């Protein structure tokens, strides 16, 4: 009988694993259970679908269950896995529409349930008009609310990536926005002086930014009407809760699967958990961080896809490893691009490095080319070994892929001096003769 | 008495060396002789000045002799160095305006004369309206000709970077263009199938491309009127000769300075020549190529700046080395970006590698984002060691800085499999979840 693979969660990690396992071993019996109504979608596209830049929310769906069926992958949407019995190698699953429950046996179990948005127990959090953004259904609900209710005022709670992207998305609908953040800065992965550029952009685009303020509650009647923050009442006909996500690891934990120090599932470099025949990948799992040398939880679509692929190949009898992450992220905030890779100064200090930093501002193009924009660069390195620990870039163009040079340098474990030697591309429309990264690295050399 | 540094050539390499030497050792006596009327200019900006995108040609000048004088650097423009006596440590220099010649003693001599455009001895090559592009004076002359003569037709001879950039520049003035190239493709640093995208762009922009055709001569009267190519007479009221440059190493060679296999000055990693107290950098010199492990001559502004800086620091008593190049280039051709780093398939074969390649086309943004454009990627690697040898990218956006990831991979001497593991940035407006480079590298993995 064919080996039966059961995959819990049909997001990027789960469906990458399914597709790769299928290609690697055509004899496998592959079944996916997904709680929401969709599998295999580019969740990072939701803010642009809500903004209206993408015509329909469903356009971010890569493949449907019907398309997976043609590949011999059974993807069941609307199915929630309730419990896993690791010893018996079974699980209990409920079809949400009918309420039907049944037991399913598996030979290999893949945990790719992703993460769930935090919903702090605030008064009024369940009022209509208060949203989180994680699933296609969430995105559809927000877009419908925006189009049907035409809110004049909105509040975004949380200044992370989703919060920032949603600010751009809702502002495009003419919604007057307030962004509330508990920390003294937006984008926690950036150091404060770099995050300040992002805050300035938000404010220049008309978003009111309230830092170091906690939301006390939400008020309304048949819908949300206002958000209570620091004694003030901010009118809001739409509220986005974007205070972060947590790994959906409860089911795994109950089944005896070990979680790591981050609270996500601990995996080895083959995506195996501590329990034989149980695997994990994506936002529910940790990843080896190449800068700290320790497990980290940096839930990102790229890592989910890569880990899923590695997992799938190993399921199919392969022997491949996931090399690890350096934590490269980029976010578009209105007309600004903000990117980082590796550790911020603050993170590096927390990790116990002897931190040194260098900052520079240089042009995105040659100084004589019209349209050139400043790019702010910050490099973080170890004062003793001079090893590069991280980099941050903020600017109006040329940031998103420039950060990849920092990412490569972190993979290579280069010193900041080695970074300064790179033979980077130059043409006046694309870069000054000294690329901003080289300008910063050269300053560190002194 | 202060050590006297004489620098022959006030381009990027020479003035970088001067500025860095000055900062490193304030006691040095630093004199620069430059044949043209300008020092320290961004020659790569000329096509955009001719195009009219930059208001004035002189805007590409970074610093004037007066500004250098304030730093204690005497920069003499309009001065041609005629001969060097290495044993006596003197040289002969002529002030071009007056014809005055004099002997100058030096303690350390820096050769940074750059390169000179090839001017094949074609009939009619000296007709008014026939230009090369190298100096500020050349750029001014072309811009004046374009503005005053308003040529309806033009011919560009040579399909390298300058030829392509000049096609964009002249087309912006409404000039109907023919580009003539001796080789079977444009952009010799790209493999034919990648160069074909560039050719298509030229043709779509209305440029007639004639490959594998040699120019037989130019005809005219008081000015150029036509170019004779393959038996055809192509009308041309302006002709750009862009058939490449050669290192201006004659003076050095005559003085006993050894040239390398490329015909440019051989230098060590401190920018020293074989003659004590004589140094060289920039387009007149070779550089260590990190992929082949041998000297190469890739005349580029970035390398000139870096070598000049290393040279200057060593002149001032420092002990620094130039790490070498991987030959990273990018060119804008109308709305297309074409970039390469390392060796092309053809070059790798010539170098004797067991060459394998992989090609892929992937989006510049997430597939669901409006405005996404295909990026064509080609990776060249060694079939035995799987070491990456080079990469090429062509597309309408997102190419220019993406090539830097390839450059970093070449510096790191990664295999194509290691390249595939990179944690590159992703956000829907900037990249698909699998960056085009990763898509190609993953194909190589199979």
Query: Among all residues of chain A, which has the CA nearest to that of B289?
Result: A423
Distance from CA of B416 to the nearest CA of A (A): 13
Task: State the alpha helices, DSSP H only, in A318-363.
Answer: 345-350
CA angle B205-B207-B209, nearest 5°? Answer: 130
CB contact under 8 A, B302 and A426: yes
* Predicted confidence band of residue B1 (pLDDT cuts 50, 70, 90): confident
The DSSP call for residue A77 is E
Query: Among all residues of chain A, which has the CA nearest to that of B165?
Result: A427
Place of tokens 């540094």: B5
Give the long-range contacts of residues A93-97, CB within 8 A, separation 24 or more.
Answer: A93/A33, A96/A35
Q: What is the pLDDT of residue B269?
A: 97
Mean pLDDT across chain B = 97
Mean pLDDT, range A280-284, rounded to an integer: 98
Mean pLDDT, range A265-273, rounded to an integer: 98
**R_g (Cα) of chain A, nearest Å:** 23
Query: Among all residues of chain A, which has the CA nearest to that of B288?
Result: A423
Residues of B in contact with A428 (CB under 8 A): 42, 44-45, 48
CB contact under 8 A, B405 and A408: yes
CA-CA distances (angstroms) from residue A305 to A50, A311, B42? Answer: 24, 10, 43
CB contact under 8 A, A426 and B44: yes
Choose the catalytic residue: B44, B54, B104, B422. B44
CB contact under 8 A, B42 and A305: no
Residues of A in contact with B198 (CB under 8 A): none
Interface test with A, best of B422, B425, B430 (most A CBs within 10 A): B425
Q: What is the pLDDT of residue B443?
A: 96
Q: Which helix (H) or strand (E) holds A191?
A: none
* Predicted confidence band of residue A446 (pLDDT cuts 50, 70, 90): low
CB contact under 8 A, B400 and A430: yes
Q: Which helix (H) or strand (E) holds A102?
A: strand A101-105
Identify the CA nearest to B318 among candidates B7, B14, B21: B21
Place of tokens 């550029």: A197
Residues of A in contact with B300 (CB under 8 A): 426
Q: What is the pLDDT of residue A137?
A: 97
CB contact under 8 A, A423 and B45: no
Q: What is the pLDDT of residue A70?
A: 96
Q: What percentage of chain A carries pLDDT values higher than 90?
A: 99
Domains and their CATH numbers in chain A = 4-116+246-315 (3.50.50.60), 119-243 (3.50.50.60), 337-445 (3.30.390.30)
* Predicted confidence band of residue A20 (pLDDT cuts 50, 70, 90): very high
Query: Among all residues of chain B, which has the CA nearest to that of A318?
Result: B446
CB contact under 8 A, A330 and B425: yes
Residue among B45, B301, B398 minimizing CB distance to A368: B45
- Strand A336-342 relative to strand A215-220: parallel, antiparallel, unpaired? unpaired
* Predicted confidence band of residue A365 (pLDDT cuts 50, 70, 90): very high
CB contact under 8 A, A398 and B403: no
* Predicted confidence band of residue A445 (pLDDT cuts 50, 70, 90): confident
State how far the Cα of A285 lies from the Cα of A275, in Å rounded to an integer: 14
Given a cut of 90, whether residue A1 has pLDDT beyond it is no
Residue among A48, A370, A400 minimizing CB distance to B53: A370
Residues of B in contact with A427 (CB under 8 A): 44, 329-332, 400
The DSSP call for residue B51 is H
State how far the Cα of B28 lies from the Cα of B1, in Å rounded to an integer: 9
Contacts of B329 (CB under 8 A, 6+ apart): A425, A427, B161, B189, B298, B300, B339, B340, B341
Distance from CA of A300 to the nearest CA of B (A): 9
CB contact under 8 A, B329 and A423: no
pLDDT of A63-74, one tens digit each? 999 999 999 999
State how far the Cα of B304 lies from the Cα of B302, in Å rounded to an integer: 5
Task: State the alpha helices, DSSP H only, in B274-366.
Answer: 301-315, 345-350
- The tokens for B37 are 């009327």
CB contact under 8 A, A412 and B407: no
Interface test with A, best of B390, B411, B423, B433 (most A CBs within 10 A): B423
State how far the Cα of B235 lies from the Cα of B218, in Å rounded to an integer: 10
Residues of A in contact with B324 (CB under 8 A): 421, 423
Residues of B in contact with A424 (CB under 8 A): 302, 328, 404, 407
Top-confidence residue, A192 or B445: A192
Classified as helix, coil or strand, A229 is: strand
Query: Among all residues of chain B, which has the CA nearest to that of A434?
Result: B302
CB contact under 8 A, A424 and B328: yes
Q: What is the pLDDT of residue B187?
A: 97
Beta bridge pairs of residue A4: A29
- Known catalytic residues of A? 44
Query: Among all residues of chain A, which has the CA nearest to that of B58?
Result: A368
Q: What is the pLDDT of residue B445?
A: 84
pLDDT of B216-266, one tens digit each? 999 999 999 999 998 999 999 999 999 999 999 999 999 999 999 999 999
Residues of B in contact with A305 (CB under 8 A): 433-434
The DSSP call for residue A384 is T
| Interface A:B, Cβ pairs < 8 A | 208
pLDDT of A212-261, one tens digit each? 999 999 999 999 999 999 899 999 999 999 999 999 999 999 999 999 99
Structure pTM? 0.97
Residues of A in contact with B53 (CB under 8 A): 369-370
């Amino acid at each position: 009988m064919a080996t039966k693979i059961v995959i819990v969660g049909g997001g990027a990690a789960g469906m990458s694993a399914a597709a790769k396992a299928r290609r690697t071993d055509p004899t496998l019996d592959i079944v996916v259970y997904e709680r929401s109504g969709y599998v295999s979608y580019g969740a990072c596209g939701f803010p642009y679908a809500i903004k209206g830049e993408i015509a329909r929310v469903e356009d971010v769906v890569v493949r449907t269950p019907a398309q997976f069926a043609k590949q011999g992958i059974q993807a069941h949407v609307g199915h929630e896995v309730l419990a896993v019995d690791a010893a018996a190698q079974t699980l209990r699953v409920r079809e949400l529409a009918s309420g039907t429950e049944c037991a399913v046996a598996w030979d290999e179990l893949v945990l790719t349930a992703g993460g769930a948005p935090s919903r702090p127990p605030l008064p009024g959090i369940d009022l209509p008009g208060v949203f989180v953004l994680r699933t296609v259904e969430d995105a559809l609900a927000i877009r419908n609310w925006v189009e049907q209710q035409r809110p004049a005022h909105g509040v975004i709670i949380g200044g992370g990536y989703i919060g920032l992207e949603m600010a751009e998305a809702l502002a495009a609908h003419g919604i007057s926005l307030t962004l509330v953040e508990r920390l003294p800065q937006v984008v926690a992965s950036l150091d404060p002086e770099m995050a300040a550029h992002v805050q300035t952009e938000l404010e220049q685009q008309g978003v009111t930014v309230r830092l170091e303020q906690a939301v006390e509650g939400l008020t309304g009647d048949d819908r949300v009407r206002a958000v209570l923050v620091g004694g003030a009442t901010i009118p809001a006909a739409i509220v986005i809760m974007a205070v972060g996500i947590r790994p959906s690891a409860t089911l795994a934990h109950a089944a005896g699967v070990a979680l790591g120090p981050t609270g996500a599932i601990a995996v080895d470099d083959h995506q195996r958990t501590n329990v034989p025949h149980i695997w994990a990948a994506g936002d529910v799992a940790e990843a080896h961080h190449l800068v700290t040398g320790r497990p980290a939880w940096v839930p990102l679509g790229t890592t989910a896809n890569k880990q899923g692929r590695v997992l799938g190949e190993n399921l199919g009898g392969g022997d491949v490893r996931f090399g690890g992450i350096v934590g490269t992220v980029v976010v578009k905030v209105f007309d600004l691009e903000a990117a980082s890779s590796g550790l911020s100064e603050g993170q590096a200090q927390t990790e116990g490095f002897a931190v040194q930093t260098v900052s520079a501002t240089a042009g995105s193009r040659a100084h004589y080319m019209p349209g050139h924009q400043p790019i702010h660069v910050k490099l973080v390195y170890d004062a003793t070994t001079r090893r590069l620990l991280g980099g941050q870039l903020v600017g109006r163009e040329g940031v998103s892929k420039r950060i990849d040079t920092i990412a490569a340098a972190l993979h290579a474990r280069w010193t900041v001096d080695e970074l300064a030697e790179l033979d980077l591309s130059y043409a006046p429309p694309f870069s000054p003769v000294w690329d901003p990264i080289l300008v910063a690295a050269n300053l560190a050399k002194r």
